[in-house]
Chains A and B, each alone.
Chain A
């Protein structure tokens, strides 16, 4: 069946360091991958996305890498700040951004002072 999962449930990073959050997916037919950030008491917030015909995409302080050979997705956050503390979900769908999204279980990012 389809699944999107994360390797680590919790990641602790020193403030100012770079964070790398990993995700494995199993559906090679997925065309679109998204990273969401969810803070306590809030809904998921879009961070960055990438299509399957790309292997890297950069945003402001964030980079998403896609390795289709091993079905692996990662989110890199540069110079991690206290405001980056949240649960991060990778997600996938097969088509357009507004199509059904399948979410993984999430990784909690904890920032150490």
Chain B
């Protein structure tokens, strides 16, 4: 069974530019999560979807970050404009209802 797929794996942009990350969850997983992981830290939840509904986006900086999961499967996380402090690894995870979370490999973002 394929795991959570994320792309790109690496992204380097200049500050003030927009950037988008894509996630394809494990087939059949209705819950999808986006996490932010700074170097040496544990992941922090940005947003959680149940199907296409965002059920927890309290930690998402809505002035510059946005996310969507239009058909309840794939999801996109966008940053516009990116700032230097946004450099981090962005992790996507998915789960079935009540099940353990499976993480993707992440996208490493570097903002110059």
Contact = CB atoms under 8 A, between A and B. Distances in A.
Interface of A: 4, 9, 34, 41-46, 49, 89, 91, 96-98, 100-101, 103-106
Contacts of B41: 103, 105-106
Main secondary structure of the interface of B (DSSP, over half): loop
Contacts of A41: 105
Given A98-B98, A98-B101, 18 more contacts: A4-B42, A9-B40, A34-B100, A43-B4, A43-B104, A45-B103, A46-B101, A46-B102, A91-B42, A96-B98, A97-B100, A98-B31, A100-B48, A101-B101, A103-B44, A104-B42, A105-B41, A106-B42
A43 B101 CA distance: 11
Main secondary structure of the interface of A (DSSP, over half): loop
Given A42-B105, A46-B100, A97 B43 contact: no
Contacts of B98: 96-98
Given A100-B48, A100-B56, A89 B42 contact: yes
6 contacts: A43-B106, A45-B103, A97-B95, A97-B98, A98-B96, A100-B45
Q: How large is the interface on B (under 10, 10 to 19, 20 to 34, 35 or more residues)?
A: 20 to 34
Contacts of B97: 98
Nearest to A91: B42
Nearest to B89: A43
A43 B103 contact: yes
B93 interface: yes
Nearest to B103: A43
